[in-house]
């Protein structure tokens, strides 16, 4: 398989805050020295740039109820909008769960987390017919707040894929998708 070229792939759009939500954050004392600019919470000063949320910030917003009923996730210091769940996403997630379960259990020492948050404090992240695998995100300086992946691969049903953290777990791509 040939190694694909880097591709600029924007992640989900950042969550856009309302003026009322911003005022609520200020009243709760969540921040110092921030402003609301076109729905983005930004740091003002020499350069106007998006606020980089920490895991503590994110959990504080959750505790305050500010993210209740919102489909968002914290990725690399940004609060991003999640894509809506629907067809074919839902049955694909079910099939993925069933395909990986034999490899991720107490016997193997790996845990499978389907559609659940995973707190990664050092990365300021708490995330959610072919299979696209995007790895190694890096900032893309061409855009205000975009990332690109250094490694993008497409796997077809006849191929196999393995997670980087457990390369010995080889999963047939065809097993990931519902029939």
Q: What are phi and psi of 61, to 5 degrees?
A: -60, -40
Give the three-state DSSP class for 69.
coil
What's the rounded Cα separation, in Å, for the pair 76 and 83?
A: 17
Q: What is the CA radius of gyration of the chain?
A: 19
CA dist 46 → 7, 43, 49 (Å): 31, 9, 9
Q: Which residues pair with 34 in a beta bridge?
A: 43
**153 with 133: CB under 8 angstroms?**
yes
pLDDT single digits (tens) 140-170: 776 655 677 788 888 888 899 988 878 888 9
pLDDT single digits (tens) 11-20: 567 888 888 9
Written as six digits, the tokens of 150 are: 């250094």
Sheet holding 131-140, edge to edge: 7-8, 146-155, 131-140
pLDDT single digits (tens) 62-109: 888 988 888 888 877 888 887 777 777 788 788 888 888 887 777 877
């Amino acid at each position: 398989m040939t190694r694909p070229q880097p591709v600029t792939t924007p992640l989900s759009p950042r969550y856009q805050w309302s003026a009322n939500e911003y005022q609520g954050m200020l009243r709760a004392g969540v921040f110092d020295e921030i402003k609301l600019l076109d729905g983005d919470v930004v740091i003002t000063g020499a350069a106007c740039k998006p606020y980089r949320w920490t895991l503590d910030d994110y959990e504080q917003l959750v505790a305050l109820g500010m993210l209740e009923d919102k489909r968002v996730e914290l990725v690399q210091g940004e609060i991003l909008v999640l894509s809506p769940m629907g067809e074919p996403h839902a049955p694909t997630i079910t099939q993925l769960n069933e395909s990986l379960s034999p490899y991720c259990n107490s016997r193997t020492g790996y845990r499978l987390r389907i559609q659940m948050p995973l707190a990664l404090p050092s990365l300021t992240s708490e995330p959610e017919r072919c299979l696209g695998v995007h790895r190694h995100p890096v900032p893309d300086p061409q855009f205000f707040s975009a990332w690109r992946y250094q490694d993008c691969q497409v796997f077809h049903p006849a191929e196999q894929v393995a997670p980087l953290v457990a390369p010995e777990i080889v999963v047939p791509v065809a097993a990931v998708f519902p029939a």
